[in-house]
Amino acid sequence: MLVLARRPNEQLVINGEIIVTVLGVGRNGQVRLGITAPPHVQIFRHELWLEIQAENRQAATPTQAGVDAALGQLLLRAPAPTVPAFDQE
């Protein structure tokens, strides 16, 4: 990990296209950052990232019983997606 000391209003450049500015440091220790980046660069709080990872992991390997339970909770409406279908075994 690269560790740099920066003061308010000082900046970092990442990969020539992302600029991180230290906007200020609050008395509570909270650091305010400003980030400018091209539209294809996604920037999120790490907590959000971890939360979505955790939801995906929980979603893996579901059972048919779970599908039936979920269907019972939905009001269905056409049209549903068109994807390959396999008959019941």
Partner 1 sequence: MTMCAAPAASPLVRVQTLHRGMVEVPEQDLITFVSPLLGFEHLKRFLIYQTQPGPMVWLQSVEDPAAAFCLLDPFAAGLDPDMEIAPSDLADIGAGSANEVTVYTVLVLDKDPAQIRTNLRAPILVGKLTQRAKQVVLNDQSLPIRFHLRDAKSRR
Residues near partner 1, by CB under 8 A: 39-40, 42, 44, 48-49, 51-64, 66-67, 69-81, 83-89
Q: Which is nearer to partner 1, 7 or 77 (CB)?
A: 77
Distance CA 8, CA 84 (A): 56
Q: Which is nearer to partner 1, 25 or 67 (CB)?
A: 67
Cβ at position 35, least distance to partner 1 in Å: 13
CA distance to 9, 10, 54, 65, per residue, from 15 (Å): 20, 17, 29, 48
Q: Which is nearer to partner 1, 25 or 50 (CB)?
A: 50
Distance CA 11, CA 33 (A): 10
